[in-house]
Chain A
């Protein structure tokens, strides 16, 4: 038995070596170099042999030590149990300390411009993740075109702000309403679709919006994008280094020295508040009848109909509310960048947001935060090794899927309980 296992492991690792050879041989081994205006093959067999050996040996070792079935599942289960237990018992403290940390973050000694930018980006993704969590996690509608609503929010904010000169606080709800309208617009034709078919149509919808933005030159300036989007002001006080005669700005009003960081910090708190509103709203609505109907719809649509739940209205509200938060995030994006173009709203953005929701654990709010910090953080850490970024990204996903096949936080808490006093947060 033991010997058999060893033999099969050796066989398996040899096979892995062969696959590695077939893959890396042509890709790494046969490198073409331009020499004297001609393409010359510059073989690197030593590197190939090294890679093949590493793959085969790695496979052999994992075979011996990790892939003994019970051990593998043991590791999975224990990792899962530790995480779940930890979050179950310390959940509230963790959430509180995370909020406190994010509140004081801009004033920590090591915080610089670069970290602030990353933090703002992460918070934007967290907000998008929370918004999409309503559609995917609660209502179970796999939406691959979420970036469309982000784009609609950004463009409607930009257009209203540029052409009418309305302030951020007026344009924000308008952008949300526009995005929600587009959510309903997408919702209607896909009411009858589920699963894969829904994913395809929503993906196409995302692309349609992007292509529309590219080609409707009169309105959107096409690929040139919209420039000169007004910056947000602090309740009417702009952030400017040189105020005009008699104009009150943020730093003169508060008697501060001007610093560009002031605006960044303001933007940071703005997105933090927007994201927290999204979170509170979702936590609350999950415990209302409409939230329960979303989850019921995810579980079994036919049973819902037999109980008199209107599937059309239920789905449309999920699309609309999810899209609305996408729109809010979009208008924040527009005001932060001061420049938007269709380039920012490609399919890869949708894919990242979906990845955040799915890896975080469908329907889990904390999971979205963990997945965002993990994925976006990883992309940033690997910024200096450009070509390896996507490998790291993919590797992270594979790791999560091995150890937590249903997402980082997969446990669902009931929205209402009979015996335990506390309703689930």
Chain B
């Protein structure tokens, strides 16, 4: 059996008396797109916030399996999840650096690498050749991603001036610039038109196929979910009510009940 990329075991998150996630276990494969769906308030974003260290889970454990080691994500707090474990995420409401240029946005994503190269700023102050080289490489990586989403011609414009759909795509490739093992996308298709979501699907499939990055996706747009997911997990009231392929999910009576209610 191949090793899973992410193992979530008995994850529980309580806010006071409110149980947002109740004993949730699931796992995702490498180079697979796993979607988490569910009605509003089902606890999808809370799962993400636990995974990426923004919340500390009340109980349970999350393991990320890399080639050599098995990392316990519960041990890392906020920025370390991205820095040490390589779990990147995007946000439901886009969080770019709006007054910085598109290229700068991607450079910030490569901060830790460049920070080391700049010898914690000291080597960088004197333009050391190793730092200049590393910076050039970082620009090349940024350019590579900009070419993929077709924004190279706008590299020097403020990120906040881009159209909405481009901002979504930029946020995704910015997350890819930290070279993650797992990419968590929180409603990437929200607010996109049909053409833009088709482009998004293409981008996500490319990342899955070429970069071998596992993708965890929260989405309401069923056209996206059904088209690209290899695996679907359905949450309701913090509990997993169904798990299976996209097709199985579509026909599952439990899922239809959670979304539409039961017949009287």
Q: How far is the CA of A114 from the CA of B79 in the complex (A)?
A: 54
B residues 96-111 near A (Cβ < 8 Å) are 96-101, 103-104, 107-109, 111
Which of B2-10, B58-66, B81-89 is the contact stretch?
B81-89
Contact of A304 among B79, B117, B142, B146 (CB under 8 A): B79
| A416→B139 contact, CB < 8 A | yes
Contact of B83 among A281, A308, A412, A416 (CB under 8 A): A308
Contact of B79 among A281, A310, A414 (CB under 8 A): A310
Contact of B109 among A307, A412, A419 (CB under 8 A): A307
Contact of A288 among B91, B99, B100, B121 (CB under 8 A): B121
Q: Scan B122-162; emit 1 where CB is below 8 A from any A CB, else 0.
A: 00110000000001000100110010000011011000000
Which residues of the other chain, A, contact B99 by a CB distance below 8 angstroms?
295, 299, 412
In the complex, 10 of the A-B residue pairs with CB atoms within 8 angstroms, ordered by the A residue number, are A288-B121, A288-B125, A289-B115, A289-B124, A293-B115, A306-B52, A308-B79, A412-B99, A417-B156, A418-B103
Q: How large is the interface on A (under 10, 10 to 19, 20 to 34, 35 or more residues)?
A: 20 to 34
Question: What is the distance, in angstroms, from A332's C-beta to the closest C-beta of chain B?
Answer: 22
Q: How far is the CA of A299 from the CA of B83 in the complex (A)?
A: 20
Which residues of the other chain, B, contact A292 by a CB distance below 8 angstroms?
100, 104, 107-108, 111
A residues 308-327 near B (Cβ < 8 Å) are 308-311, 317
Measuring CB to CB, which residues of chain A are less than 8 angstroms from any residue of chain B? 281, 284-285, 288-290, 292-293, 295-296, 299-300, 302-311, 317, 412, 414-420
Interface of B is mostly: helix
**Other CB < 8 Å A-B pairs besides A289-B107, A417-B103, 11 of them?**
A288-B118, A292-B107, A295-B99, A296-B111, A306-B88, A308-B81, A414-B156, A416-B103, A417-B101, A418-B139, A420-B156
Which residues of the other chain, A, contact B104 by a CB distance below 8 angstroms?
292, 295-296, 414-416
| A305→B156 contact, CB < 8 A | no
Question: What is the distance, in angstroms, from A364's C-beta to the closest C-beta of chain B?
Answer: 13
B20 at the interface (CB under 8 A from A): no
Which residues of the other chain, B, contact A418 by a CB distance below 8 angstroms?
103, 139, 142-143, 146, 152, 155-156
| B111→A288 contact, CB < 8 A | no
Contact of A293 among B52, B82, B111 (CB under 8 A): B111
| B156→A296 contact, CB < 8 A | no
> Which of B83, B95, B125 is the most central at the interface, judged by chain A CB atoms within 10 Å of its CB?
B95
| A307→B175 contact, CB < 8 A | yes
Q: How far is the CA of A21 from the CA of B114 in the complex (A)?
A: 63
Q: How far is the CA of A292 from the CA of B175 in the complex (A)?
A: 16
Which residues of the other chain, A, contact B223 by a CB distance below 8 angstroms?
none
Q: How far is the CA of A255 from the CA of B36 in the complex (A)?
A: 84
| B107→A284 contact, CB < 8 A | no
Q: How far is the CA of A304 from the CA of B178 in the complex (A)?
A: 12
Which residues of the other chain, B, contact A419 by a CB distance below 8 angstroms?
153, 155-156
Which residues of the other chain, B, contact A307 by a CB distance below 8 angstroms?
79, 82, 88, 108-109, 111, 174-175, 178
Which residues of the other chain, B, contact A288 by a CB distance below 8 angstroms?
118, 121, 124-125
Q: How far is the CA of A289 from the CA of B96 in the complex (A)?
A: 17
Given contacts A303-B91, A304-B79, contact A414 B101 (CB under 8 A): yes
Q: How far is the CA of A323 from the CA of B107 in the complex (A)?
A: 27
B78 at the interface (CB under 8 A from A): yes
B252 at the interface (CB under 8 A from A): no
B40 at the interface (CB under 8 A from A): no
| A290→B89 contact, CB < 8 A | no
Question: What is the distance, in angstroms, from A329's C-beta to the closest C-beta of chain B?
Answer: 20
Which residues of the other chain, B, contact A290 by a CB distance below 8 angstroms?
115, 118, 120-121, 124
Q: How far is the CA of A62 from the CA of B141 in the complex (A)?
A: 55
Question: What is the distance, in angstroms, from B25's C-beta to the closest C-beta of chain A?
Answer: 25
| A300→B96 contact, CB < 8 A | yes
Question: What is the distance, in angstroms, from B19's C-beta to the closest C-beta of chain A?
Answer: 25
Q: How far is the CA of A309 from the CA of B156 in the complex (A)?
A: 22
> Which of A299, A302, A310, A317 is the most central at the interface, judged by chain B CB atoms within 10 Å of its CB?
A299
Q: How far is the CA of A420 from the CA of B91 in the complex (A)?
A: 31
Which residues of the other chain, A, contact B101 by a CB distance below 8 angstroms?
414, 416-417
| B109→A295 contact, CB < 8 A | no
Q: How far is the CA of A417 from the CA of B158 in the complex (A)?
A: 11
| B156→A289 contact, CB < 8 A | no
Which residues of the other chain, B, contact A309 by a CB distance below 8 angstroms?
79, 108, 111-112
